Structure 1
Amino acid sequence: MIPRLAWRDERYGTGPYAWITAGLNTSTAYVRLSRGLACVFDTKEHGALSHQQVGHLGFNEHQLWNAVGAHLAGLADTFWVRPALGSDPGQLLKGVEVQARGHTAAGWLAHPQSFQKLHQHLVATLRPRHELTYYVGDGDTLFAFDATARQVAQTLGWDRLMRYSLGFPLLAVPPRTPMRFT
């Protein structure tokens, strides 16, 4: 069982257009993490599990989420990191690409137990000057940058940027342009 971070469009509630992440539908079992983000449960055999499949396992969504989170947190003895590199030297800010044993690193953001361990490890290792900004790239690759969300967004855009908040991922949002009345 692999937790996967998935994107939702909150404007559509639970309808068929709510999922931004491809391959998910109204029967997909999930736990809402924060506005626009959810945890879905993948298996190699079935892909994303439905509510019915989770029930056949003897769990409800929150029970399965907690079991998967505890399992991941128990694996938090090894993280592999390498410098985040862009296509041009010096393109990206100071940061690392994260690999985690046995799972996609982005899945570690899908439960507070595992995200807290990952975040604490990266803070202790990187000793950031700024709040860490996380970016989930294609294929659920995970990057952590010692830079503000605005700085990272200048290179990577706002769509997949997030920050850590009490164990949960929060999507970073672009600053609003002030309205001027004439």
Structure 2
Amino acid sequence: MSKAIIRTARIEDAEAVLDIQREVVTEKDYFIAVAEEINKTTEEHQEWIRKIFDHERETMLVAEVDNKVVGWIVFRSQERKRMHHTGSFAIMLQKNYRNQGIGKLLIHELLSWAEQHPVIEKVSLGTFSTNTRAIELYKKLGFVEEGRKVREFKFSDNEYVDDVLMYKLVK
């Protein structure tokens, strides 16, 4: 496999980012939304990316392999003044590119960005309690479990999953 390149997302990446999101959602194991809720157009996704870049405390990075976007990570900040120092991220990778260190590269690059940012001090995330591989990776990267929202997600009548809340202080 070719080496992954991590770079800042561009507006023209919107379609690839949206395709990855649609793909991951169909797997049902990693994302809060269900497939029918992902109904944005490419143009709406372009506007979403544009708003991220217009916000001084937010960023989006993509992973590229052989000039193809195969994953992305987005960091969104809090609007409340007392929470400007915090934000959380979401990350998605195409299935064929998982378990190759690309997610780790995306997170490292995001953490590097956050460490250099004059305001960001705390990077957070939430993940399904069933996503044990991701939780393991986050712990290896220095994230700490901060708490859980018990039975936060309902998959079927008697199938619930906790939301595991994790964080890392970067300053």
Please report the TM-score for the alignment, with normalisation by the length of structure 2: 0.29
Higher helix share: 2
Higher strand share: 2
